[in-house]
Structure 1
Amino acid sequence: MVEGTVIAVCQFGGDFVPNDDGTMSYSGGEAHALDISRDMKFDDLKSELASMFNIDSSHLSIKYFLPGNQRTLITISSDKDLRRMVDFNMGSITTDLYISSKIDSRAHRNIAADSGTSIVDKVGAVCNVRSQRLAAVNGGSKRVPRGRISVVGANTHKVATGSTVQNIRQLEVNTAGKSNGRIVAADSVTFSASSPTADIVGQQILVADDNVEDRATQRSLADSSTPIIMAVDAAENAGPQSAPWDCVITEVGQEFDNVKAFRDELCKYAFVKGFAYKYIKNDNVRVTVKCTVETCPWRIHASGSARKQKFMIKKFNNVHTCGAGSGDDGHQRATRHWLASIVKEKLLDNPQSKPRDIARDIYQDYGINLNYTQAWHAKEAAQKELHFLHEEVCNQLPHLCKKIMEANPGSITTLAASVDSKVRRVFVSLHASLHGFEHGCRPLLFLDRIPLKANNQWKLLGAAAMDGDDCIFPVAFAAVEAETHNSWHWFLVQLKHAVSRSCNMTIVSCRQKGLDESVPRVFEDSYHAYSLFHLIEELKAELKKSSCSEQDKHAIVEDFKSAAQAYAVDDFNACIGRIENISRDVAEWVLSTKPEHWSNALFRGSRYDHLSPNIVDSLSRWIAVKDELTIVQLIGALLAKTKDVMDSRRQTSSTWAGTLTPSMEQKLQKEIPKARMLLVVCSSDSVFEVRGSSINVVNIASWECTCQRWQLTGLPCLHAIAVFNRTGRSAYEYCSRYFKCESYRLTYSASINLVPDIESISSVVGANSYPPHAQRPPGRRKRKRINPHKTSIRPLHCSRCKEAGHNKATCEVQL
């Protein structure tokens, strides 16, 4: 088999059969083998499959299972999906592709109004649904024919029926809370299939429509006074693929975390089994439910277990005599809370999901059609539930910190709370990171905030070093409530306590958020270098105030960069002079930013030619969006990624045979040809004069050159290399020890141990930790703003009495 190619067994015409363990297998149909390379386009694959099975390529649906996962089908819908499939199955001999032909036909409306009675007739929906229908009892999938959909309004006593409907999926939105032993009809929608006629009592009809975008007139999910219809799909193999919901309720003795979890699982179970139920008893300590058909014996009772602090099924009669329970017909019922729980699961995977994305995914996965407003309200309800999840997770922080220190002795974790216990700060520095920084890294630390894409409750502060191969080496991080002077000062205090060597260390950061004051105050014996990147951003903001042309502004920025990178004071002054020739005010601003903190020519510390912290781009890629949702997930993701990076670099460095790391070896070899053209004059045993385009003096005893490059970078400059070539010395002996492979291996010699089952860490009993308040993201507020330039406002007039100062609702004038 050619490298980068997988052999795909393409299967078509069969059915998925669920197994007892929740997995699925494919039975029947025909199969063909096909070579798929990583460079193959998705359209080419569709054309090949359409020709192979003689079907229309525009109606193709292609799915596959991940290796070791026979539960969830993955859809291929783009070139990127196809490449991922090839990458995931590169180590397998063959992989299976499941081909199906999907049909998309719009639901049609046929509405007649007679004497105030609305009738929906012949509403068929054969929808494009991605997921496969899990069999309820008999383990098979059945085709669902078209039929009538009946709607019961708020004051309806008759139930509409349709004789040909089987397995119609419906969604009942109930906002009344407890049902008190009956089905709540005031806020519900019921679909039935038992008689050939449809009798609907009510004035309002909402018809199933699979166009999510154009259903803006439908009632929103938050409206609890009117029925809400979401699309009811009568489609072949339509059903949830996210979980084997027919197995969520199994037997007596099954335990759940709480009563809420039991209600959610029961709703999913009834949804996939195809029956409706009603509550007999429903409170926080016990729940009794029976089938809505009075003669049906199906019944379940669950209550709390004091011994295990769980909610347990005590009685369960899993027999239906009403024809339901097999998925062939019956009612399905789901509350608005149930829909929010489904959306919450999607937000856990992708916190950046938008209402339009949520509506599309729910339609594809479950066949439920939501308009934008309904999806928006469902997301709002799900986010409220996630807020309580944040509170619960914050109570896990003390236990998590304890587990981190137990798994990694020598690590430092610190928790801090405000007076009202509503804000938590957590600082983490692993022993492996501290050991590597102190024994193998340069005395150079970069500070910056690591942006989070989905979490607006926490701000992540990071401290990182550079290893011998010029790669980012994480030292410590902290999650705080906001990036302020106070939070940065707290982080620096914890960092100084963790890092043992703080003398003659260089710290590179911006000068905002109080760092220009906090860094010298906390690290008294260290040097503080301002980040060139942040200074350039400040300079560009300052240039917006000036009247310089765009060409002059660009020249000023380039001269500013040259001034920062200049090694000699004369070169620095020349750059400032060019800026002054363009704008004296800008030159004064540049000099007011304390060049001794950012110019190579004036800075007293050693920053090894690194002018800006680049930890933002590096560490932000370590954190997936789905791992940002809770603080525990965030810390777990950082620990796992740090461990993977350290293990990978440790293994890679074991194969290096040279003296220097690869990147430093490349820099040194780049200077060697330049040194051959220089003339060396010996002044003493250790001092030499090197002549080229300029004259420089090299002192090999003190590792210095008048060009300053040797001192600032740690690698011999071309003048020093010319001296080594003349005297027969090796340039490797005069390289900084931090650039040698021995120090690099020492940097990654310690290992990290992950906390087992980090997501199942229990909360601290009695803890009262709350997450920081979510801050409004930047951007214009979505409301009408006051115009400060508008001096007069038109007075309010009453439409009833035509007088000013009030409206019709508050009018008290006697007419």
Structure 2
Amino acid sequence: MQENMLKYLLPMDTHIEQVLLDDGDVQAMFDIHKCQGTSFINLQVQQLDTRCLSTHASRQSGDPQPLDRSTSNTHGASMETTEPSHLPGSSLELYDGRKGAEGVVPVLTQYSVGRIHSIGQVFRSKELLQMELTNYAIARGFNWKYLKNDSVRLTVRCNHAIYPWRLHASVVREGPQFAIKSLNNIHSCGCDIMSDGHPQTSKKWVANAVKGKLVDKPTYRASEMMRDIRRDYGISIPYHQAWWGKEVAVSSLYGDFRTSYHMLNWYSKQVDPETQRFKRFFICFQASAYGFEVGCRPMLFLDGTHIKQHKVQGVILAASALNGNNELFTVAYFIADSETYDNWVWFLQNLKKTLLSDRRIAFLSDRGKGLKEAIPDIFPNDHHGYCFQHIMQNFNDQCAEKYAAPFKKLLRKILQCIAYVVTKQEYQDTMMAMELNSTDAKEWVLQNDVDHWSHARFPGQRFAFLNTQAICSITFYHLRLASYTLIWQSHSTIEYMMREVYQYYRWLTKLECK
């Protein structure tokens, strides 16, 4: 026999369904939405076997309690249950002492206390029920252990045998849904579970708690996870637990990082057949090469960032440009074991093959390992500009450090003028001012390739770019990609370019004044 069952989705997690069986459930629903400040309630109607509801109804009418058969081998409905002495939505008063980092009631205690509350609740899977039991125990401040745990049933009780809290659930028909068949929701323990930690906070639980934030922020750090879990759940976890939780979450979202290297075979056939290993990997889409030729200045920013995920050693080297709107445009990137002269040479050789014209290019970089020597070897007729920010840092460390602060500030100002002046006469005047103040400082300027970082001396066109603000954007962008697996990096780059192409086509029509 089928009956209609009314249920709703929790505002904080739309994957969780709560069943409305009585007035207490309705009150709990209103209290939960009030806590979250939401005015919209997502109600659904579903048909369910009435056996999942009959036990709860008999308890309300005062019928005799059947014997507890939770320890038998049968999987039928139901067993002894004791209704809680308070409504689920009114239990917030029990948690006034469990304050978060900001001194407010943690988010978990605002809505998890009503998730496990009555017989007849249906969960989409056994794993989801187990996760909700963990959240419930953390919110209540107690611990539980398994009595039975297999593919068709789940029985747990309070970790302390003297306390009566107990729950039994079993599969609904062939599954995968699980329904609560028996619940004794009275417990008074929890004094030994302090807010500084909880035994149920496994790395899997941490992964589930932070997975949503990792999607929005792939650079989410373990220290930030510790802070947010303390604020949202009112408990503290050690750093290693947060780190391992992030590992599990990243693997579940994007796959295993190590095995993703094998998937690169799908992108290229240039693999040594004997070792089945590749040394380096160059990626440049035809659309990127064409876009650089027709829509970007003849200037490339070169930079690299380390891959720090999952203990995998490697670097991502990138060549990027700026389009006519001064927006970042990734031309090519390169995956290798380290940043060396040989890797930069191989990267630049492949980059040179992909460029569609012979126009002269101005390269701008921070003179990374091997890059200073590699550019003139592969692009002998082009020009290499140095990042002035790094020049200034080297000047402070190697020359100006020995002077007092006021005089050091003066020398730095003169050095900045040397970099930004645009005529030869202005350059000579500023060099004379540097010599009058410090002969050593002038010699340092002459010995540190001034032709590569002064506007007046640079032989090519660098379009007024002295510093590498764009390179900072490149590093951040590829650092974000480094949080994904390698295949996700490629797909993310494709999606990024598709978004830019879409924005471009939006401006192809003529603008008309209204």
TM range (shorter): 0.5 to 0.7
Could you say which structure has the higher helix fraction? Answer: 2
The amino acid of 2:231's aligned partner reads R
2:355 corresponds to? 499
The residue that corresponds to 1:396 in the other structure is 263
Question: Aligned residue for 2:75?
Answer: none
1:17 matched to which residue of 2?
Answer: 8
Tell me by how many angstroms 1:393 deviates.
3.3
The structure-2 alpha-carbon separation of the partners of 1:492 and 1:291, relative to structure 1 and needing over 3 Å to count, comes to same
Which of 370, 383, 401 is 2:235 aligned to?
Answer: 370
Query: Are 2:379 and 1:523 equivalent residues in the alignment?
Result: yes
**Any idea what the Cα deviations from partners look like across 1:414-464, whole Å, max 9, x if unmatched?**
88999895x875432222221122234332222224699999966443222
Going from structure 1 to structure 2, the CA distance change for 1:494 and 1:208 (only over 3 Å counts) comes to farther
Match of 2:227 in 1: 356
Which residue number corresponds to residue 160 of structure 2? none
Q: Match of 1:278?
A: 148
1:319/1:443 Cα in 2 relative to 1: closer, same or farther (>3 Å)? closer
Residue in 2 that maps onto 1:489: 345
Letter in 2 for 1:594: D
Q: Residue deviations 1:226-274, cap 9 Å, x none?
A: xxxxx9999753579xxx981135xxxxxxxxxxxxxx45734776999
Contact 1:462/1:477 (CA < 8 Å) preserved in 2?
yes
Between the aligned partners of 2:432 and 2:9, the Cα distance in structure 1 is 78
Gaps of 5+ in 2: 1-5, 24-30, 44-51, 57-79, 89-94, 103-107, 138-144, 157-166, 188-198
Structure 2 match to 1:510: 366
CA drift of 1:628 comes to 2.9
Deviations 1:327-346 (A, max 9, x none): 67499x96846425424635
Q: 1:424 & 1:462 partners in 2: Cα distance? A: 17
The residue matched to 1:605 in structure 2 has which SS?
coil
Q: 2:190 — aligned with what?
A: none
* Matches for 1:151-230 after TM superposition, within 5 Å: 165=84, 210-211=98-99
| 1:793 corresponds to | none
Residues 746-800 of structure 1: CA distance to partner in whole angstroms, max 9, x if unpaired? xxxxxxxxxxxxxxxxxxxxxxxxxxxxxxxxxxxxxxxxxxxxxxxxxxxxxxx
Instruction: Give 2:245's aligned residue.
Output: 382
SS across alignment from 2:369: coil
Partner amino acid for 2:486? I
Q: 1:655 to 1:601 in 2, by over 3 A?
A: same
Q: Please state how far the C-alpha of 1:606 moved relative to its aligned partner.
A: 2.3
Q: Trace 1:500-649 onto structure 2 (pairs within 5 A).
A: 500-502=356-358, 504-547=360-403, 549-619=404-474, 628-649=483-504
2:71 corresponds to which residue?
none
* Amino acid paired to 2:410: A
2:200 aligned with 1:345, yes or no? no
Change (3 A) 1:525 1:459: same
1:471-499 CA-partner distances (Å, limit 9, x unpaired)? 43321223445444454334323322322
Gaps of 5+ in 1: 1-14, 30-54, 72-136, 142-160, 170-206, 215-230, 250-263, 281-287, 301-312, 364-368, 403-412, 658-815
Q: Deviations over 1:548-576 (max 9, x none)?
A: x3333233223223223333323212211
The match for 2:46 is none
Q: 1:467 maps to which residue?
A: 323
1:381 maps to a residue whose letter is: W
C-alpha separation between the residues in 2 aligned to 1:24 and 1:443? Answer: 57
Structure 2 counterparts to residues 260-271 of structure 1, below 5 A:
264=127, 267-268=130-131
Q: 1:297–1:317: 8 Å Cα contact kept in structure 2?
A: no
What is the letter of the counterpart of residue 610 of structure 1? F
Q: Distance in 2 between matches of 1:603 and 1:650?
A: 37
Cα distance in 2 for residues equivalent to 1:417 and 1:334: 47
Checking the alignment, whether the CA contact within 8 Å between 1:16 and 1:25 is kept in structure 2 is: yes
Distance verdict in 2 for CA 1:536–1:392, change over 3 Å? same
Does 2:33 align with 1:63? no
Q: Secondary structure at the match of 1:468?
A: coil
Q: After superposition, what is the alpha-carbon deviation per residue over 1:365-411, rounded to whole angstroms, capped at 9, x for unaligned?
A: xxxx53344xx453243245457822233333333x36xxxxxxxxx
**Shift of the alpha carbon at 1:613?**
3.4
Paired letter, 2:8: V
Aligned length: 412
Distance (Å, rounded) in 2 between the aligned partners of 1:612 and 1:317: 58
Question: Which amino acid is 2:419 matched to?
Answer: A
Q: Name which of 124, 133, 145 aligns with 1:247.
A: 124
d(CA) in 1 for partners of 2:400 and 2:275? 42
Alpha-carbon offset, residue 590 of structure 1: 0.9
SS of the residue 2:301 aligns to: strand
> Any residues of structure 2 matched to 1:768-779 within 5 Å, and which?
none
Following superposition, the deviation at residue 316 of structure 1 comes to 5.6
Q: Is the 8 A contact 1:564 1:600 kept in 2?
A: yes
Distance 1:389 1:426, change over 3 A: same
One-letter amino acid of the structure 2 residue matched with residue 583 of structure 1:
S
Q: Secondary structure at the match of 1:570?
A: helix
- The residue aligned with 2:114 is 237
Which structure has the larger Rg over C-alpha atoms?
Answer: 1
Aligned position for 1:731? none
Relative to structure 1, the CA distance from residue 270 to residue 634 in structure 2 (aligned partners, 3 Å threshold; closer, same or farther) is: same
By how many angstroms is 1:505 displaced? 2.2
Does structure 1 conserve the Cα–Cα contact (< 8 Å) formed by 2:282 and 2:335? yes
What does residue 431 of structure 1 align with?
A: 286
Cα distance in structure 2, aligned partners of 1:595 and 1:245? 72
1:655–1:610 Cα change, 3 Å = farther
Give the structure-2-normalised TM-score: 0.62
In structure 2, relative to structure 1, the CA distance for the partners of 1:469 and 1:537 (3 Å cut) is same
Say what the alpha-carbon RMSD is for the aligned residues: 5.4
Structure 2 Cα separation of the partners of residues 543 and 452 of structure 1 = 34
Distance (whole Å) between structure 2 residues aligned to residue 603 and residue 483 of structure 1: 26
Supply the distance in 2 between the matched residues of 1:641 and 1:568 (Cα, whole angstroms). 40
Measured in 2, the distance between the counterparts of 1:239 and 1:290 equals 16
Provide the rounded CA distance (Å) in 2 between the counterparts of 1:393 and 1:605. 41
Identity %: 19
Partner amino acid, structure 2, of 1:526? D
